[in-house]
A and B are shown apart, each in its own frame.
Chain A
Amino acid sequence: MSHSKKATIFNKDEAKVNWHDKALWFVREKRDSAAHNVKNWEYLRELASGIKANVLSNLDKYLVQFEENAKKNGIKIHWASNAEEHNSIVHKILAEKKASKVVKSKSMLTEECHLNPYLEAKGIEVIDTDLGERIVQLAQEPPSHIVLPAIHKTKEEVDELFQEHLGTKPSNGDPEYLTNEARKHLRDKFLKADAAITGVNFAVAETGGFVVCTNEGNADMGAHLAKVHIACMGIEKIIPKEEHLGVFLRLLARSATGQPITTYSSHFNTPATGTEMHIIIVDNGRTKQLSREDFRTSLHCIRCGACMNTCPIYRKSGGHSYDATIPGPIGSILSPGKDLKKYSSLPFASTLCGSCSNVCPVKINIHEQLYKWRQLITKDVKQPLIKKSILKIAGFVLSKPKLYKLVGKSARFMLKYAPRFIVYSKLNAWGKARELPKVKNKNFDDWYKINRKNNG
């Protein structure tokens, strides 16, 4: 189903749309005030963008350097060219350790690879330990936002979900009670876990270490209690030096939630005695995206979600309308690179307002890439005949001044004289909720001919 169809369904409940819109706008405003408190914010973005550009043009070097240094620290490195390889590597590590209970902190990469259903099918219990992720896992839904996975759910809905799955008492959506219950439930899972899976926010080539950012400390809790820690990262997560963390950590949390820094920015460098640490470095289409000059900078993304919070279309259509692992503006430029046909409606789910590019901490020109995807999609994916014909004919008419004048006149005639039931038919999407402009007999051309005879 296209984005517009799903968005139409989401909009049937206007009160919920308003709530969703306000909740995310609140985060956008928090981001604004946090960014205002940083001197030279715009310079910091410039710097981050530059570092990422450097990373992407030297990725081969940095990845190998990272591998070497991580190995020196006693970390085991695995390479996966796609989601299947990634999943089977995870499974192999778990099988070797006879691990049947896994706790996982937030990782969009494992979502992208659909790791949970893969492991569950092999009899392994995977518990998402980020509270929002746990909520959507219990609801058997994908996350609707990359930083706020359950933002589409109200606290009352969470209350019901917890009653059903965790046996909590009805609390009218009392956040404190519900969070405490979730904590008890998760603590039990942490203590019994055989292995912990985390994502990676930044992997430092120079040191072979990596950083995981969370607000709940769930990555640390998982990784420190279990005997095995598997960290999954896309190849673009590399940064050259540890000192560059100072740039990215300042930008990440401020852009994401308006916090100066995430509550936990945990540095993992070497496994503790008696435990194992694995890193799986995953391509899964990233090299291909890197090869597309127009879309290369989409790999700068540090997954802060700021583009979602600022995007009015995202706020008013909900993350699930995008039907992609990464929704919102950034997802709409990443997803077509994976499957152009499946995601062909996403680059059109935008007014190209450009707010996304303005908030992006690594300065991805998101709205310009949306425009570029549109050009490729109309070429390579079959388009509705009406849309295609109208636009192609328009192109012809607009290149012929005489024909254009004739068409303009007829259109105005039609708007003025055609009966309302014809103009406002089902075919007229504009007229469903909006009036068409009221037209006069004369256009500007006519007026000009009469009123400015001696010119032009």
Chain B
Amino acid sequence: MKVGLFIPCYINQLYPRVAIATLEILEKLGVDVYYPTEQTCCGQPLGNSGYEKASKGACQLFVENFKEYDYIVGPSGSCIYHIKKHFDILEQTDDVINVRNNAYELCEFIVKILKKTDLGASFPYKVGLHKSCHGLRGLKLGSCSERMDSHYSTEEDLLNNVKGLELMSLTRKDECCGFGGTFSVFEEAISVKMGKDKIQDHLDNGVEVITGADHSCLMHLEGLLNRNDQPLRVMHIAEILNSNFQL
């Protein structure tokens, strides 16, 4: 099994530690993982802003970079969702279809494909899970509060096996944090208000670390936490799953 590691542009540039954790987890799990160095971005910021057409070059480049792999794995539900959902703007060649079908968000890849839930990690903190909308409602990584399906959660399956970790429940389990890509700047007031309220929910429920499978949401929340000096920190779920704190 050859896996192409997809590191979203903003993680590559701003959060290399998340990318490192992702790579190390896959290596620990014995995956034959490669990092195509010519990769840039999935094109989502353009598509969500209404400039899908201008993103065609980036999407095509993505396919070129990843077409030779059995699986494409990345630590971002939102980007993976974009590839699966919106690469319909490209001509649907075999390569494009394969890339779309074989793209997996990290947690889903670990649980569904590798069939592992206990990665031997330990992390002795009270953790709040931020279920990003694209991961949850787009990729269906878990059951959604609006739907009457039975409960499941890919990320919870993994976190519940982390030693010492206490998963705190939230009052509004899967409310959007208000990041929304360029929404965060074009609808600044609402975006900030949504983020503030989301953080308050975590604080009210005794959370010490907010985690999630989408670092873009976490970047938004971290921006607010740092500005307002609040006693909380954000960590990508890959960082927690790659942790080995002495208990």
- A residues touching B (Cβ–Cβ < 8 Å)? 3-4, 7-8, 11, 14, 17, 21, 25, 32, 35-36, 38, 41-42, 310, 312-313, 316-317, 348-355, 357-359, 371, 374-375, 377-378, 383, 387-388, 391-392, 394-401, 404, 408, 411-412, 429-430, 432-437, 439-440, 442-449, 452, 455-456
Contacts and interface: CB of A to CB of B under 8 A. Distances in A.
Contacts of B47: 371, 375
Contacts of B15: 437
- Name A's interface SS: helix
Interface in B156-190: 172, 174-176, 178-190
B16 A443 contact: yes
Contacts of A387: 49, 182, 186
B46 interface: yes
B46 A395 contact: yes
Contacts of A17: 193
A208 to B, nearest CB: 35
A399 B186 contact: no
Interface stretch (B32-40, B107-115, B236-244): B32-40
Contact of A444 (B16, B45, B144, B219): B16
A444 B7 contact: yes
A433 B227 contact: yes
A7 B48 CA distance: 20
Contacts of B195: 434
B145 interface: yes
Contacts of A32: 145-146
B40 A399 contact: yes
The CB with the most chain B CB atoms within 10 A, among A349, A371, A398, A456, is that of: A398
A4 B39 CA distance: 34
B148 A42 contact: yes
Contact of A354 (B43, B138, B184, B223): B138
23 contacts: A42-B149, A317-B190, A348-B50, A350-B183, A351-B181, A351-B194, A354-B137, A355-B137, A355-B144, A358-B147, A359-B146, A374-B50, A378-B50, A395-B56, A398-B61, A412-B14, A429-B188, A430-B184, A435-B227, A437-B15, A444-B19, A446-B16, A455-B34
- Name B's interface SS: helix
B41 interface: yes
B53 interface: yes
A434 B220 contact: yes
Given A42-B147, A358-B146, A351 B220 contact: no
B194 A448 contact: no
B51 interface: yes
Nearest to A306: B146
A439 B14 contact: yes
Given A8-B189, A435-B223, A378 B178 contact: no
Contacts of A312: 175-176, 178, 194
The CB with the most chain B CB atoms within 10 A, among A313, A374, A396, is that of: A313
B52 interface: yes
Given A412-B13, A456-B36, A11 B193 contact: yes
Nearest to A7: B190
Given A375-B53, A443-B13, A358 B137 contact: yes
Interface in B4-40: 7, 9, 11-16, 19-20, 23, 33-40
Interface in B107-140: 133-134, 137-138
